[in-house]
Structures are given as C-alpha cells and as structure tokens.
A and B are shown apart, each in its own frame.
Chain A
Amino acid sequence: MSQVIQITSTSTSTVQYSNGYEQDEYMMQEEEWDRDLLLDPAWEKQQRKTFTAWCNSHLRKAGTQIENIEEDFRNGLKLMLLLEVISGERLPKPDRGKMRFHKIANVNKALDFITSKGVKLVSIGAEEIVDGNVKMTLGMIWTIILRFAIQDISVEETSAKEGLLLWCQRKTAPYRNVNVQNFHVSWKDGLAFSALIHRHRPDLLDFHSLKDDPLGNLNLALEIAEKHLDIPKMLDAEDIVNTPKPDERAIMTYVSCFYHAFAGAEQAETAANRICKVLGVNQENEKLMEEYEKLASELLEWIRRTTPWLENRTPEKTMAAMQAKLEDFRDYRRLHKPPKVQEKCQLEINFNTLQTKLRISNRPAFMPSEGKMVSDIASAWQGLEQAEKGYEEWLLNEIRRLERLDHLAEKFRQKAITHETWAQGKEQILSQKDYESATLTEVRALLRKHEAFESDLAAHQDRVEQIAAIAQELNELDYHAVAAVNERCQKICDLWDQLGTLTQKRREALERTEKLLETIDQLFLEFAKRAAPFNNWMEGAMEDLQDMFIVHSIEEIQNLISAHEQFKSTLPEADGERQAILGIHSEVQKISQSYGLKTSLSNPYSTISPEEVLAKWDKVKQLVPQRDSSLQEELARQHANERLRRQFASQANLIGPWIQTRMEEIGRSAVEMNGTLEDQMTQLKQYEHVIVNYKPNIDHLEGDHQLIQESLIFDNKHTNYTMEHIRVGWELLLTTIARTINEIETQILTRDAKGISQEQMNEFRSSFNHFDRKKKGGMETDEFRACLISMGYDLGEVEFARIMSLVDPNGTGVVSFQSFIDFMTRETGDSDTAEQVVASFRILAGDKPYILAEELRRELPVDQAEYCISRMPAYRGPGAVPGALDYTSFSTALYGESDL
C-alpha cells in the first residue's frame, strides 16, 4: 500500500489557504499526502505533541502510554492496542515476535483494520511505519484520528470536519468575540476554547471575565480541560500563539477531544437523556400500559355493567315507565356513552401510540393482560353496541307496543262503553209482550220497528266483533290489565248472544201475532164484504116487505104476489149467507181465544155487528108473513075493483055512444036545412026532452064512478069512456042542444030583425057549409076569405084584416055561423050604429045635446033608464045644466066607440 501524503506549503505572508483542508474529503486527503513529503516543522511539532497526547488519552485506558510517536508504534502492538481501544473492537491476535516481519504483520493487521473501517490508506505502508517514518506515522495517526474521532461527528447533517467546524460555530455562536472559521487561526486567542468550555461547563470558567490575553486564555483553557474534562494538554499555548497559522490537524484533533468530551458528555447526557428518555419512555410506556390496563379494566367493567342493563328486556307495564327507560337510554347515549366512546377511542389511541412508541423504541410490542386485549375490548364493545342496538329497538318496540296497548285499551274501553250504552235496556225492550194487546197496524208497526232494530243489531255486530278483536289483540300483546278486559269482553259477548236470541224470539212472536191478526183482519174484511151487501139486502127486503104498494090491477097485485113468492124462495139461501157471515165472526172469536189475543176485536171494516145482522134477519122473517097477508088482502080488493070497473064500463059503453048519437043528431039538425027554423026548433026541443030524461043514467053512472073513485080506481080498460068524458059529453050535449036551440032562436031573431028570408038564411047556410070544409061548424080564416071572395068581395089585406077583427074579435081563428051571419047582415042590413042611437037619444032629449034623468025615466023602461042614468057621464059641453047627461059618449061607448 502506498499512501499519498500531501504536504502543502504555505506562505507566511499571506494567510491563504489553498490547501484542500476545507474539503476534508478522503480523496483530498490523498492529494494532500501526494504533494509533498515536506511537513512544516511547526506543524510537525504541533502534530507530534498533539497526536501523542491524543493517543495517550486513549492508550491510558489500556494502561499504556507512548512517548515517542514515531518510535512507539513501530512494532505495531501499541498501534493495534490503540485501535482496539478507540474502536472498542478486537483486532486479530498480534504476532508475538520481534522479527521485522512480525512487526510488519502486526502493523498490517492494524492497517487492515483501518482499511476495514473504510479508510483508503494511500501511500501508507506498514514498512514505513515499522521503519519509523515520522510523516507516515503522523499521517497514519491523523488518518486514525480522522477516522475514529472526527469522521463520525455529525452535526445537523454535516459530518466530519465540516461537522466539527459547524459544531464549534454553533457552540460558540452566543459568544460575540468568538468567531470560528477554521481550524487554525480562529483558535489562536484561546477564546474559542474558553467559549467551548464555558458553553458546556459554565461552572468551570467565567468567560466574560477573560481578557484579551490569548496566551493566558489558552493556558487557562488547556488547564481546565486537563483538570476537569479529562482532556490532556495536546497543544502548547506558546506554540499556538506564536505560530501564525497553527496546524490545522492538531487543532482539529484537540478540538475533536472537546467535541467528544462534551458531545460525549452530551452523549452521556444524551445517553443519560436517552436512558432517561428510554427509561422515561419506558416509564411512560409502563404508565401508558398501566393506564391502558386501568382504562381497559374500567371500560370493560363499565361494559360489563352496562351490557346486562342493555340486555335487560323486562317490559314495563306503563308507557311512562318505558319512556323513563327510554329517557335513561337517551341519557346513556347522550351523556354516559360518549365519554366511554371517547375512552375506548383513547384506549385505542393509547394502545396504538404505545405500540408505535414501543416499536420505535425497539421495544417489544405491548401485550395487554388476559382479557384486556384489544380484541377483548373490541368484542366487548361490539357486544355492548349490539345490546345497545337491540335495546334501543326493543325500547322502541316496547314503547310502540305499550302505546298500542294503551291505545287499544282506550279504544276497547270506548267501544265497550258505547256498546254497553247502546245495549242498555235493549234486553228489557226485547222481552216486552206489547204485541199481545196490539192491533194489526200496531203489530205491523212493531214489526217495522223490530226490523229497524234488527238492522241496528246487525250494524252493531261489527262493533262487537271489533271489541272482541281488540280484546284478542290486547291478549296477544300481553296487556297487563288484560284480565279485566277479557271479563268485560266476555260480558259484552254474552249479552250480545242473549240479545240475538231475544231478537229472534221477538221476531217470531211478532210475526206470529201478525199472522193471526192478519187472518182475523181478513176474516173481518170478509165479514164486511159479505155483511154489507147482506145487510143491504136485508134492509131492502125489509123495505120491500113493508113497501106500501098501490096497485090498480089484479095483474099488478099478482105480480107483487109472485115477486113475494120469489123472494120467499131466496130466503133459504139468504139464511145460508147469514150463517156464513155469523160463522166468520165466531171464527174470529175462536182464533182470538185460542191464541190468547188481548186485542179488542172490533171490525175496522164494518160497522155492522153480528147482533145487528141477527136482529135484521129476525125482522125480515117476521115481515114475510105480514106481507103475505097484506098482499092477499090487496088481491081481494083488486078483484072487487075489477068488478066495479066492469060495472062502470058496461054502463059507460052504453051512455057514451048514446050521447054521441044525440050530438050527431043535433049537429045534423043544425046543419041540415030541413024545414023552417021553427021546425028545427021543435026537433031540437024534442031532442032536449030526450036528453033531459036520460039524466038518471048519467047520475047512476056518477054513482058508480064515485064508488070507483072511492076505491081509488083510476083506470078502466073495459071502457074508453071516462066519467069525465061522459060528463063532458053530457055537458056538451046539454050545451050543444042549448046552444043549438039558442042559435036557432038567434037565427030566428036575426031573420026577423034583419028581414032575412028563409031562403037567404039557407043561402048563408049553404055558403057557410060549403066553406066550412072541415065541417066544424066554424070557418077558418082561409075558408072565410075564400067565402068572401066567392061572394064577390075583392078584399085587400088590410080590409080583410079589419073584417076579421070584426068577425073574430077574439082571434080564435074560427068564424062561427053566427058571426058570419052578423057580418053578412051587417053589411047588407041596417044596423044600429052609434050615430043612430045618438040620434035616438037626441029625439028623446028634445034635440038637446044632453038628456036629463027625468026624460030617461019618462021614455024608457025603469031598469034601462036607471042603467042609462048610472052609466051616462055628466054632460060638460056648452049649455050644460046640472043633471045633464052626456048621451053621445054613452052611446058611442055602448057601441064600443069612444070619441076622443
């Protein structure tokens, strides 16, 4: 091996360091060695002192020293020893021999060792060492120092030389007058050393009292270092002061001792600290472990305590209690658990921290004691949480359940009350026997009510079922007061069944009663339907049987008799009907009795009572024979009447025609113009005589007629002649004969008065007869007109009317022969007109316009005179005297004329 020792030369004038010491790399070091084999003698001197002192400081631990650095290491033994001491390691056994090669071998062992520590020894050979080459040896020692004292220095990531420098700078930083820039001149004033000492051991020197006395300072520092720091004096103070640039290596070496001393102290401190730390850590760890254990115990204890509480599933009875439990649980969750969660967390953290710490500090992992392991805690915690969850669920369920139970219980109670209220009294109502004395309509009404009740009942069925369902649910849900509920429910159900039964019974009873009443009603109706017509029939019969009859013929009475017989034949049937009707009534009685109906049995359809029927029937029965007898009586009477009729008839039939004949005779006589009027008269008189003599017949007939009338016979079919006829005929006959006679008389008078001859009369007669077409004895208007025309009268309507009014003043429409003659004779003959009468009176009055009463009396028959006097109005004309009578107006008035 070769090593390169670089020797640098420095100029004393300028403090320039162009050596590679700043770099302080091994490679640099090689260069250093390579340069020059020259070593500055000052430096050599310093190095020798310093290195020797350094080696001795180590060798003394092995109990040896060196005095001469180039000599004492020549055999390599102390070298090896030195290495052993400073490394703390064993080197291979040195060769015990004195031979050169033994020495070389030993030195090689040492060098190998050094190399094994990573030092590249360049140009340092064992032989030079064995040969005692100072430079080599110093270089080798420097290498060793560098390697073992300086290389491992690490300060703030700076190592070796820089590190050492940095350390010096750091440590001396507080000291304003110390400025360490290098390992040579910075140390000359000794303040740096002092600072270093003061920094670490202010008790050893009072830095601030140091003066500017490099030598003194240095010596002081050296002294103190040797005495108190166990650092031998490796430097010579005078040398340092006097040398412009002290040897860097020597300084470095000495400073490194300080480093090691302090750093060592520091290290020791650090070590102590570390130990303290470690111990502290240990203690801490142990404390943590204890704490963990404690916490774990507590936690587990708490869990152990709490879990059963959470697992307790004893239900409470009331909502309140459960809610209290819930509250507790909430408290647990809110107040009690979180800290425990925290604790657990903390426990975990602690555990982890502990483990980490232990791991970091290379301790074995923490193994908690049995049952307190993390897994135990975790599982316990899990158990807790599960219990908790389960508990919460259970709590809520329970509360829900209790709520539901409360709700159900309340619902049950309400429904039960409602139902019980409704059911109150229903039993009594249903057990009523009110239908026993009700009428049909009432029973029907009861039935309707019952129907309504039944539907009400049906509606309530639901409710009862609901109540039972609720009770059931309460049972299922294990309600605490379920016994009372069940009891009540049972009562309700029993009552319900009871009501059902009663309802049914009542319905049956009502229906049955209804049926019966309906039957009875039907019977009543039947009764009414039959009784009414029967009653009418009976009443009719009674009426008929009592009927006052008026019959006028045998036929009629016989009809009545046969009708009566017919009626009698219907009696048996009627009797049957009567029995049937009465039978209906007794039927009703029977039914009513047998079924115990208490209703009043009055027939709503009929006012006819059976008693009435019976009574009327008896009456009818009574009346029948009565009628028989009266009819028979009547029959007899009718027969008698008939006899009377016949009698009358036979008479009348004789008389009637007789009268007729006479009438015709008379008529003929009047019409025919046989003989003179006198002859006619005589004949008529004869007729008259005959007629008069016939009167007794009429009287006799009248007598018969009276009988007939008394017998109230109003008709007679045996004759067409009624008494009236006969009477009228007779009257007419009498009148006619009288009139005819009168007519003849009149005609005679007229003839005489008017001087109409018989021929004229006959002419008038024949004209009249001719125009009396209908031969009535009087002309009608047309006939008269025709007659006039035939006589040559050419008449206008007015004139004819006038004539008509004269001839037929009464407007009968018939012109009688007399009027005709009057008219004819008036026109042809003289007539007394009013003027003529007036004239006549004038004569009597002696030409006065008035006449006096005495004159009248004188000239006229008494009664006519009196007539005139009484009738004549007083004359008021000119020349009137008292008692003057106006004969003019009287006369005109006589003639039916009044002059106005």
Chain B
Amino acid sequence: MASAEQLAPFQHIEVQLRGGAPWGFTLKGGLEHGEPLVITKIEEGGKAAQSRKLRVGDELVNISGSTVYGSRQEALVLIKGSYRTLNMVVRR
C-alpha cells in the first residue's frame, strides 16, 4: 500500500463562512509546533458544519486570500481579522 503522501494529490476546497465569529471549528498544530495546521474539530450546528464543506483533518492553506504557510499565529490573526465573512481554502 502506497504511503498517504503518494496517494491522490491534494484537493483544494474553497469555503466561505458568513455570519461572524464563532465559526464553529477548532484549529490545531501549526509551524510553531512542527505540525500542519489542521481542523481537528467541527462543532455541530456551527457555521463550519453548516457549510458542509469542511471536514476534520483539512489543512488550512489560505485565509481571506492570503496564503498561510502553516503558522498558527498568523492564521489566527487572519481569521480574527475577518468580520462578517470568512473565506478559506483548505486542502485534504
């Protein structure tokens, strides 16, 4: 069985969440921890869950048009910076 990395290439998914914080998902990892920046939890009934596009394990690569290089602090800043609408691109 081939390694996961060698399997299908990454899918990139664009997601737009509306309505403002809280968005209803949890980010974990990041460059600071030496881990990829992934969504570890999606709150039921939250806006993330309502979008039906996000899944646990999705890695965040782009927030509000800015490419994220894995830094969680950076991602937090970008997310918190968004007001009513949050545009994201994740990959899985």
- A893–B21 Cα distance when bound, in Å, is 17
Q: Is B45 an interface residue (CB 8 A)?
A: no
Query: Is B5 located at the chain interface by the 8 A CB criterion?
Result: yes
Contacts of A592 in B (CB 8 A): none
Complex Cα distance, B27 from A797, in Å, reads: 21
B40 touches A897 (CB 8 A): yes
Q: Which of A797, A798, A800, A897 has the most CB of B within 10 A?
A: A897
A897 to B26, Cβ gap below 8 A? yes
8 Å CB interface, B1-50 against A: 1, 3-5, 7, 21-30, 32-36, 38, 40-41
Which of A450-458, A462-470, A802-810 lies at the binding interface?
A802-810
**Interface residue? A760 (CB, 8 A):** no
Q: Are A898 and B27 in contact (CB under 8 A)?
A: yes
Q: With a CB–CB cut-off of 8 A, which chain B residues contact A809?
A: 29, 33-36
Classify chain B: how many residues form its interface, as a range: 20 to 34
Closest chain B CB from A859 CB (angstroms): 26
Q: Enumerate chain B residues within 8 angstroms of A572, measured Cβ to Cβ.
A: none
Contact, CB under 8 Å: B26 / A896:
no
User: Number of residues in A with C-beta < 8 Å to the partner?
Assistant: 23
Chain B residue nearest to A786 (CB atoms) is: B1
Question: In this complex, what residue of B is CB-closest to A893?
Answer: B72
Residues on the B chain within 8 Å of A800, using CB: 4
Per the 8 Å Cβ criterion, residues 787-829 of A in contact with B are 797-798, 800-802, 804-806, 809-811, 813
Q: Considering only CB atoms, which chain A residue lies closest to B46 in the complex? A: A900
Q: Which B-chain residue is minimally distant from A897 (CB atoms)?
A: B28
B22:A899 contact, CB within 8 angstroms: yes
Contacts A802-B57, A809-B35: A896 and B4 contacting too (C-beta < 8 A)? no
**Contact string against B for A residues 770-796, beta-carbon threshold 8 Å, 1 for contact and 0 otherwise:** 000000000001100100000000000
Q: Once the chains are docked, how many angstroms separate the CA of A801 from the CA of B5?
A: 8
**Which chain A residues numbered 568 to 624 have a C-beta less than 8 Å away from chain B?**
none
Chain B minimum-CB-distance residue to A811: B5
Query: A898 and B23 in contact (CB under 8 A), knowing A797-B7, A809-B34, A810-B34?
Result: no
Q: Chain B residues near A805: list those with CB within 8 A.
A: 29, 35-36, 38
Q: Which residues of A contact B92 (CB under 8 A)?
A: 798
CA distance A804 to B35 in the complex (A): 11
On chain B, the residues within 8 Å of A801 by CB distance are 4, 57
Whether, in the assembled complex, A895 has its beta carbon less than 8 Å from a beta carbon of chain B, the answer is: yes
Smallest beta-carbon distance B85→chain A, Å: 14
Interface centre among A813, A892, A899 (most CB of B within 10 A): A899
Nearest residue (CB) in A for B29 is A896
Knowing A781-B3, A892-B26, A896-B30, say if A798 contacts B57 (CB, 8 Å): yes
* A900 and B28 contact, Cβ closer than 8 Å, known pairs A805-B35, A805-B38: no
Report chain A residues within 8 Å CB of B76.
898, 900
Q: Which residues of chain A from 733 to 792 have any CB-CB distance to chain B below 8 Å in the complex?
A: 781-782, 785
Contact A898 B28 (CB under 8 A): yes
Nearest-neighbor residue (CB-CB) of B40 within chain A: A897
B27–A900 touching, CB < 8 Å: yes
Knowing that A896-B33, A896-B35, A900-B21 touch, tell me 14 more A-B residue pairs with CB under 8 angstroms.
Answer: A785-B3, A800-B4, A802-B57, A805-B29, A806-B35, A809-B29, A809-B33, A809-B34, A813-B5, A892-B28, A896-B28, A897-B40, A898-B27, A898-B76
Q: Can you give 12 contacting A-B residue pairs, CB < 8 Å?
A: A782-B1, A782-B3, A798-B92, A811-B5, A893-B72, A896-B32, A896-B33, A897-B28, A898-B27, A898-B75, A899-B26, A900-B22
Binding site for B on A (CB under 8 A): 781-782, 785, 797-798, 800-802, 804-806, 809-811, 813, 892-893, 895-900
